[in-house]
Amino acid sequence: MEKRRVTFKRDNGLPLSQKKDLDISSEVNRALFEAKVPHFVRIQGVTKNTRGCLSTITTPSATAEMLIRYREIVIKAARKVDAGIVDIETNELWERVKMHGVNFDRYLGKKTGGGLEKLRSELQAENEGVVLPLAISWIGGPKDVQKKKTEGKKASSVVFAVKGSKMAEKVLRGGLRAAGVKYDVERFMTAGPDSFCGVCSRWGHVEAKCGSLKMPACMLCAGRHLTKDHKCNMVGCKANAGQNCTHNVDKCVNCKGNHITKANVCVKKQEAIKIAREERRTWKEREGERRNVTTDQQKKLDQVEDGGPSTAEAEKKAPSDEQQGKEPEVQVVSTQATSEPSSSTGIPETPMTQW
């Protein structure tokens, strides 16, 4: 849907047209037809937000990039309805990502010389083409981060938006650098298997990613309306809109059982929670393996920096199992080892509340 969205840029010095927004759609589509533009390149209504910004989406077979090719035709037609329109542009997508191993001593709090805002400026300065339109935030929130620091942990993970889908993909593949340190970057998923959608009352996604915006379902009665619009039809019932009451016949959207959708007895809810727990367990195991490998690497580096024996020297000095009369042990080497630590502190110290 976002690849089909087009924004109309206006001259703020001119008042917003009082004509209906449908008039813009009508004028633009007729102009495209008269210019013999392929029939599938059309717009599908115009919407206006609370700030007066106008936007439209193309018909399903076209993208915003296709419509932009006919910029002059579209602008000329739209100005017949709203003279304040001066240009059109595609919607710039932002991708949210998470970055691991961000050091508390360097980036936590204003006393560090800027905190996460300093990190943001470093990322933009040291990575060509990277634009971070919003502030960076710690995953888990300030209280969770302070708790980790109190417990003696040195680093955690942060989340931020990268401007442009292509740039986000590049960052996900190659990571980012800040103050000369390389960090691993992963896609930030705001929803998991146990996320609940307040529109369609189903599991596995949130409202922003719902594909059934025009077909809502109530979590109380499975009716074709949003839960917040649920009302009891019984005369004299004092239940407010969106509240359940004794007059309601409970029905689950997902399993069709005689209970509300979020009830713990629902098999669909139990399945969603089970899948989410398994994914979190797998994630923790994977991060644990990475943490162990990085810790071993860091110990060796610290030993060399402190003037201690290198790995090769230590092996020369240490008596072998054969010299000690012991059976040699088989050493298992982790396949997760990396050639370069992901950051100065290594791996995120805690499992995240979102993954």
Q: Tell me the pLDDT tens digit for each residue of 142-165.
A: 777 888 888 888 998 898 888 877
Cα–Cα nearest to 42, from 52, 54, 32: 32
- Closest by Cα among 190, 178, 69 to 130: 178
Alpha-carbon span 96 to 205, nearest angstrom: 16
CA distance 232 to 248: 7
> What confidence tier does 309 reach under pLDDT thresholds 50, 70, 90?
very low
What is the pTM assigned to this prediction?
Answer: 0.40
Highest mean pLDDT among 130-134, 229-233, 255-259, 278-282: 255-259
Q: What is the pLDDT of residue 293?
A: 54
Looking at residues 48-70, what average pLDDT do you find? 80
Mean pLDDT of 288-293: 57
The whole-number pLDDT of residue 37 equals: 93
pLDDT value of residue 182: 92
Of 2, 197, 4, 178, nearest to 95 by C-alpha is 2
Average pLDDT along the chain? 77
The answer to whether 166 touches 94, Cβ cutoff 8 Å, is no
**With 50 as the cut, is the pLDDT of residue 220 above it?**
yes
Residues 312-324, mean pLDDT to the nearest whole number: 44
Question: What pLDDT score does 321 carry?
Answer: 44
Tell me, what's the pLDDT at 51? 53
Q: Is residue 301 predicted with pLDDT exceeding 50? A: no
CA dist 121 and 131 (Å) reads: 10
**Mean pLDDT across 304-318:** 43
What residues contact residue 280 under an 8 Å CB cut-off, 6+ apart? 351, 355
| Tokens 């020369």, residue located | 316
